[in-house]
Amino acid sequence: MAVQAALAIVTLLQGYVAVTFLGLLVSQLTRPNVTVNQLWPITAGFLGIIFGLAVLGYWLNMHAQANGWSAWFGMQAMTNKKMLTVTYPTFIDPKFRDNYAAANTSINYSGGFATFITEIVNSVCGLLVAVLLSGASLVALFGARSTQTTTLAQFANSPWLLILMLFIIAIPVVAAFPLAKLSGRFTQKFYQYNIQFNRIGEYYIQKVFEDYSIGKVIRIFDPHDHLVHHFGEMNRTQIKQDNKLLTQATAVRSLNNIVLSVIVGALYVVVGIKGLAGAISIGAVIAYVGYLQQVISALTTMMDTVGTSAATLKGLDQFIDFIEYPDAPATGKLPVEKRLDNEYAIKVDDVSFRYPGAKAWSLRHVTLDFKVGQRLALVGPNGSGKTTLIKLLTRLAEPTEGHILLNGIDIQKYDIHEYQQIFAVVFQDYRLFAFSVADNVAVNTHKDPARMKRALTLAGVWDKVQTLPKQADTSLTKNIDPDGVDISGGEAQKIAIARAWYKDAPFIILDEPTAALDPVSEYEIYQRFDDLMENKTAIYVSHRMSSTRFSQRIVVLDHGEIVEDGTHESLMQAKGLYYRLFEAQAQYYTSDKIKEERKNADATYAIS
């Protein structure tokens, strides 16, 4: 604000200094026997000070623009941080999303705080300075013709004076074209440089920070805001280079302003000829033309600011409403016990859940124990509540009724970031980032090449990764890397599975993890995972039955309630919902079918 205020004052002083020095010049002109040699020192001093103020104004303008960009990026950073730090129920709340869209519109189209402050400071400073320096308004008759017969008077009355004024005015106009052309070159460089950064920025903003499913991945795998810090570093790099390019472009544009400022002084000298001829008072030329011009300009600017302030303030209100949007953050503070034996037991105790605004219950009176090291399959038709239960287990949502306990303690009492680190999840609506394969698997953890190879091998995609241009360092998609590659849905799903195994969490949850895979690939992935779960607790969530043959316990959900619980053999004998679901899909998982499909399938991946 101080820089903007100083810039506004310097801009006004350019006009007032011109008026003051021109008054001194006129005083000299009205003295008897004045010579040209006596006028040069005053004229040179006047032009020198005007030039100095113009240069100072350019410097202040450069910093004011930099501050404006910093304010804009600061507001963007605040909105992005809000999106990443709210709880997941708030994150998916439609009203919250609407507020986010309104806040973004405010930042991008109304200009935000920087524009508002600039308009207010310029108009207030302009009006105050103009009123203080102008004093009382006086009316003068300008345009009266001189009655003298001198050569100067004849020139003042002749059209040559007008021609001279037009010539002087034409100077900055003619100079503006080449200067604008040169400035345009720097501006073009600025836009070219920002193309890639804008692509990355748009990806972060539109995908990483906004996408519902990625929001879950970040909260599970990136509790320390690694992505926020990375985005901040990228912004700082961009701002530094942008400031350099904008400084060059602004410097060229400001040359035209400097020329214009000098020309204004020359115009006052020319107008003073009319006063020297006795047509009007030279002091009146300076005071009435200069001061009143400033007052009119200040009043016009103030009225314009008042007229547009309502829309600006409304936009700022939308931004503030978003930043202050109420959220109920997790309050638990207990640390999660670090156990090398992975002895973590979870109990779901009479839990019911209903989404905000919904009338129907997604889960109703669910009681379930997850025993340490057990392979448990959650199966059921679409919409039976399987994914909702996983959200409750991972604290992406809170039970409407009932409690979930970890080693006998309500999970809401634990620190949410520590608690979520005991889970590695492949969500039903999983997402990969447009980063390298390695970054997708390791996310923000230290990259262990050996473990990464093992994870990708277990997921059945290691050989495919080896064929990519940069192998594990190859970017996925071309969203931010022109050399990135597109992979199939099945391959993407396998990388998501590798990410879950790489995390080495006590609980591995596979929520419809093989929906994009063919039956053979699905069968082989479950077989590999089951062999290498060691003492981890595995939860398979699916409406496809391939996972159940590798599970020690099968829980069947229907309409939000547990309807069956047992082993594959016991549930098949019961001939209930599980039996009907399995029989409907059994043709895809017979030995003969698998043997036939394997003729064209990928070779089995060895574990080394």
Give CA–CA dist 248/328, Å, rounded. Answer: 47
Give CA–CA dist 67/594, Å, rounded. Answer: 65
DSSP 555: E
Digit-coded pLDDT (tens) for 308-348: 455 566 667 777 888 888 887 777 888 888 876 777 889 99
Q: Is pLDDT of 251 > 70?
A: yes
Taking every pair of C-alpha atoms in the chain, what is the biggest distance, in angstroms? 126
Return the amino acid letter for 37: N
Return the amino acid letter for 105: T
CA-nearest of 218, 221, 198, 199 to 208 is: 218
Q: Is pLDDT of 235 > 90?
A: no
Contact status, residue 525 vs residue 497, Cβ threshold 8 Å: yes
Among 7-11, 38-42, 60-64, 515-519, which stretch is predicted with the lowest mean pLDDT?
Answer: 515-519
Average pLDDT of the residues of the chain: 75
Coil, strand or helix: which one is 440?
helix
- Structure tokens given for 497: 């599975």
pLDDT band at 532 (very low <50, low <70, confident <90, very high): low
Among 4-8, 144-148, 237-241, 586-590, which stretch is predicted with the lowest mean pLDDT?
Answer: 586-590
Coil, strand or helix: which one is 377?
strand
- What integer is the mean pLDDT of 351-372? 88
CA-nearest of 411, 419, 423 to 539 is: 423
User: DSSP readout, 493-546?
Assistant: HHHHHHHHHHH--SEEEEESTTTTS-HHHHHHHHHHHHHT-TT-EEEEEESSGG
CA-nearest of 203, 80, 194 to 484 is: 203
CA-nearest of 376, 364, 341 to 511 is: 376
For β-strands 401-406 and 409-410, DSSP reports them as: antiparallel
Contact status, residue 279 vs residue 144, Cβ threshold 8 Å: yes
Q: Is pLDDT of 363 > 90?
A: yes
- Structure tokens given for 364: 């109703």
Angle between helices 94-105 and 36-85 (to 10 degrees): 170
pLDDT band at 607 (very low <50, low <70, confident <90, very high): very low
Measured over the CA atoms of residue 120, residue 123, residue 126 and residue 127, the dihedral's sign is negative
Rg of the chain (C-alpha set):
37
Coil, strand or helix: which one is 331?
coil
CB burial of 253-262 (b: ≥16 within 10 Å; e: otherwise) equals bbbbbbbbbb
Q: What percent of the chain has pLDDT over 70?
A: 63
DSSP element (H, E) containing 206: none
Torsion angle of C-alpha atoms 376, 381, 384, 390, degrees rounded to 10: 40
- How many angstroms from the chain centroid is the CA of residue 276? 61
User: For the whole prediction, is pTM greater than 0.85?
Assistant: no
Q: What is the pLDDT of residue 279?
A: 65
Q: What is the pLDDT of residue 353?
A: 94
Give CA–CA dist 586/572, Å, rounded. Answer: 12
- Structure tokens given for 290: 């200069």
Q: What is the pLDDT of residue 136?
A: 45
- What integer is the mean pLDDT of 120-148? 61
Among 289-303, 393-407, 412-426, 560-574, which stretch is predicted with the lowest mean pLDDT?
Answer: 289-303
- What integer is the mean pLDDT of 411-422? 88
Q: Report CA-CA distances (Å) from 213 to 209, 218, 273, 396, 437.
A: 10, 9, 75, 11, 18
CB burial of 301-335 (b: ≥16 within 10 Å; e: otherwise) equals bbeebeeeeeebeebbebbeebeebeeeebebeee
Q: Which residue has the higher pLDDT, 205 or 456?
A: 456
Contact status, residue 389 vs residue 557, Cβ threshold 8 Å: yes
Tell me which range, 1-5, 275-279, 375-379, is most confidently predicted by mean pLDDT: 375-379
- What are the structural domains, with CATH classification, of the chain? 2-321 (no CATH), 345-422+537-599 (3.40.50.300)
Residue 404, beta-bridge partner list: 348
